Chain A
Amino acid sequence: MKKKFKLEGLECANCAAKMEKLISDLDGVKEATVNFITQKLVIDGEREKMPEIIIAAEKIIKDLEPDTTLKNL
C-alpha cells in the first residue's frame, strides 16, 4: 500500500535525500520517495507493517531535521 505525507518545514535537500535512503531501507518498505520540491513523502510498503514503518520514518525525519513535521495526506 502507498501512504502519502507532507513534510512541513523541510528545508535541507541533502537531508531529504538521506531520509529517502533510510526510509527505503526500513523493514517492510518497498520504496520510499521524498520530493524536496513538493515536500512530500510517499511510502510504498506492506500493509501490516505500516504502523511501525510510520513510527520509524518519523524518528528518521526528526533525527535528520528536527524542525520538520510529518503530516498525513
Chain B
Amino acid sequence: MQNRLQRIIIGAVLLVIALVLQTNFQGINIALYLASYLIVGGDVIRKAFRNIIRGKAFDENFLMTVATIGAMLIAEYPEGVAVMLFYQVGELFQSYAVDKSRKSIADLMDIRPDYANVKKGDELVRMDPDEVQIGDIIVITAGEKIPLDGKVIEGSSMIDTSNLTGESIPREVEVGNEILSGCININGVITVKVTKEYEESTVSKILDLVENASSKKSQSEQFITKFARYYTPIVVIIAIFLAIIPPLIIESAIFSYWIYKALTFLVVSCPCALVLSIPLSFFGGIGGASRKGILVKGSNYLEALAETEIIVFDKTGTLTKGVFEVQEIHPKGISKEELLEWAAYAESYSSHPISKSLIKAYGQEINQGQITDVEEIAGQGVLATVEGQKVMVGNTKLMERMDIPYYKGEIIGTVVHVAIDNSYAGYIVIADEIKVDSAQAIQELKKANIKHTIMLTGDTPNIASKVAKKLGIDKVYSELLPADKVEKVEELLLQKSPKGKLAYVGDGINDAPVLARADIGIAMGGLGSDAAIEAADIVIMTDEPSKIATAMRISKKTLGIATQNTVFAIGVKITVLLLTVWGLTSMWAAIFADVGVTIIAVLNSFRALNVKNL
C-alpha cells in the first residue's frame, strides 16, 4: 500500500508538470505523460498482459488498460493518465476500506481464546485450546478468556458474558457452576474441569455459525450475483458496438469520438461496488447481531426477518419463565404465612413441580419429624398428618372427594386448596411467571409493523388468555399438543401475504418440528443448549424475548443499507452510461462511477456493523 501511494504521488507530480509546462515540444509532453502513466499504472498493465497471456481477458486491469491506452491513442494523453491515476487512488482507498472492514469484523469476532492454562501435576502448562481434552483441569486467572466449556471445581469469580449474550452485567460463578468459553473472567481465579472439546465448545460453535452464515445467501446477494454475471458482458458488448457502428453509419461521425465513449463504458463495466458492499453489509449485520447475543445462521434469515408479518410464540419458557411460582395466597381463618406453612409441610415429601414451588415459596427449614401418615393421591393431592392435625392439600377433585366445601370462583392459574382437620383453610394460586420484558417485546414488535402476534400453548384457555391479554398478544390457541402446534403454524402460514414471512419463537427443546416448519425458527435461551442452536435459524442466546425486536431492527437496518447500495451503485452506473452515449460526460465521471461508488458503498455498508443503539 505504501509503495502504491508513492507511485501515485510521483505520477501525479509528473502529470501536473506536463499539464503546466504545455511545451511546444510535443515530444517532451508525451514523454512526461508516458512516464507518469507507467509509474502510476505499471502494475495494472502488467497484470492485464499476464491475463491476456492466460487467455483471461475480462478483468478490471484489462479494462482499465484498454481504456487508458485507447484514450492515449486518440491523443487524449492527460485524460488517459488521469484516469489511471484516479483509478489507482480509488483502488488504494478501496483496499484501505476493505482492510478496515476486515479488521473491524475480526475485532468483532475476537472471542476466540488463544490459549488454555492446563494443570499438569503441580505445573500449569500453556496449551492451544484445540489440544485440551475432556476432563483436563484448567486454571483461568483474572482478565483471561475462558477457553473451553467446563465446570468450576475451585474458586469463584465474576464472569463477563457480553461476548456471547450482549449482556453487560457480569454473572457470578462458584464451585459447581457451568461456565462457557468465550466469556471473560473478571476478577477471581477459578479452576475448571473441561467438559467439552474445543471444537464442540460454545465459542467455536458460535464462530463457526457466524462465519458460515454467509453461505446461505440472501435474495439481495443472489440478485447481485446474477446482475454481475450479465452486467459486465452487456456493457462490454455495447462498448464494442459504440466504437464500431456509429462511425460506420453516421457520415459525419468521428472514430475517436466514439471510441472515447466506448472506452468510458469499459471503465464503468465492473460491478465491484455491488459485489463487495452487499455481502459486507450482511456480514456486518450478522456480526453485529452476534455481539448482541443474537446468532443468525444465514444472510437469508436476516433478510427474511425484515419481511416478517406474523410472529407466533410458544408460551411456556418463551414468554413465561417456565418455572411455577406461588402467585397468590388466599387464607380463610388463618394468616397467609400459616396457610403456606401447612401446605409446604404437607407437600414436603412430594417431588411434583407444584409441591416444589410451595416449598420454595415457604423458604424455611421443614422439620420432617413432625409429618406422619403421608398419602399421595395421584392427580388430586396429598394427605398428611402434621403436628397431629390432618392436612389435605390438593385440587378441586380432592376437595370433592373429601366432601369439603371450597372456593368456587374463577381463578386463573393452578389452584391448590388446603383443608385442616376437615375444615377449609383457603387456597394458593401457582402460575408460571411472565418474563420481565415480554410485554415490551410485543409492543416493540408491533411498532416494527408486525401484523399478527399469536401465542400457542398447551395450557388451559383461561390461563392462556390471561397471559395474552397482559402482554397484548392478538390471538391465542390453547390446549395444543406439540403436534397440534405444527398444524396451527401450517394454517397460519396460509394467512400471510405472498412476500410476508412467519416467524416462530420457541425454546427449542420440544418444538424442533415447529421451528423447522416456520419460515424463520427462533430459539430462545440458546446459551449452552445444543438442541436449540441445532434446530433454529436464529438463536437468542439470552432468555429475553425483547431481543427478537432488536434482531428485527438489525435486520431492517442491514437490508436498508443493502438496498441503498444497490440502488445507488446501479443508478450511478446506468446514469453515467446513458450520459456517455449522449456525449454529456467524460471518463472522469466513469471513474467516479467505478471506484468512487465502490468506496461510498463500502463505507455505507460499514454502518451495518454498528448495532449499539438498536
Contacts and interface: CB of A to CB of B under 8 A. Distances in A.
A11 B95 contact: yes
A37 B101 contact: yes
Central interface residue in A13, A36, A63, A66, by most chain B CB within 10 Å? A13
Nearest to A14: B275
B270 A37 contact: no
Central interface residue in A17, A31, A42, A66, by most chain B CB within 10 Å? A17
Interface residues of B, number: 26
A33 interface: yes
B95 A38 contact: no
A31 to B, nearest CB: 7
| Range for the number of chain A residues in contact with chain B | 20 to 34
A37 B56 contact: no
A11 B44 CA distance: 13
A64 B211 contact: no
B4 to A, nearest CB: 12
Contacts of B98: 11
Contacts of B211: 35, 38, 40
Given A36-B279, A37-B283, A13 B215 contact: no
Interface string A21-48: 1000000000101011111101000000
A15 interface: yes
B215 A33 contact: yes
A14 B102 contact: no
Interface SS of chain A? mixed
A17 B225 CA distance: 7
A14 B283 contact: no
B271 interface: yes
B275 A35 contact: no
Given A13-B275, A13-B276, A35 B54 contact: no
Contacts of A31: 215
Contacts of B215: 31, 33, 35, 42
B214 interface: yes
B110 to A, nearest CB: 13
A37 B59 contact: no
A15 B59 contact: yes
A33 B101 CA distance: 19
A15 B47 CA distance: 14
Contacts, number: 58
A18 to B, nearest CB: 9
Contacts of A13: 272, 275-276, 279
Central interface residue in A14, A15, A39, by most chain B CB within 10 Å? A14
B105 A14 contact: no
Given A14-B275, A17-B275, A64-B56, A35 B214 contact: yes
A62 to B, nearest CB: 9
B126 interface: no
A29 B54 CA distance: 25
B272 A14 contact: yes
B112 to A, nearest CB: 13
Nearest to B216: A33
B212 interface: yes
Interface string B53-69: 01010011000000000
B228 interface: yes
B276 A42 contact: no
Contacts of B105: 37-38
Contact of A17 (B50, B95, B228): B228
Nearest to B212: A42
B149 to A, nearest CB: 22
A55 B280 CA distance: 29
Contacts of A36: 276, 279-280
Contact of A63 (B54, B276, B283): B54
A42 B215 CA distance: 9
Nearest to A64: B56
B40 to A, nearest CB: 18
Contact of A33 (B102, B214, B280): B214
Nearest to B215: A33
Contacts of A12: 59-60, 272
Contacts of B47: 66
Contacts of A39: 102
Nearest to A40: B211
A14 B228 contact: yes
Contact of A37 (B225, B271, B280): B280
A63 to B, nearest CB: 6
Interface string B271-313: 1100110011001000000000000000000000000000000
Contacts of A37: 101-102, 105, 214, 279-280, 283
Given A21-B229, A35-B211, A35-B215, 7 more contacts: A11-B95, A14-B275, A38-B102, A39-B102, A42-B215, A64-B56, A66-B47
A-B CB proximity, top 8 nearest: A13-B276, A33-B215, A13-B275, A14-B275, A37-B283, A35-B214, A17-B275, A14-B272
25 contacts: A12-B272, A13-B275, A14-B60, A14-B271, A14-B272, A14-B276, A21-B229, A31-B215, A33-B212, A33-B214, A35-B279, A36-B276, A36-B279, A36-B280, A37-B101, A37-B214, A37-B279, A38-B102, A38-B105, A38-B211, A38-B283, A40-B211, A42-B212, A42-B215, A66-B50
Interface of B: 47, 50, 54, 56, 59-60, 95, 98, 101-102, 105, 211-212, 214-215, 225, 228-229, 270-272, 275-276, 279-280, 283
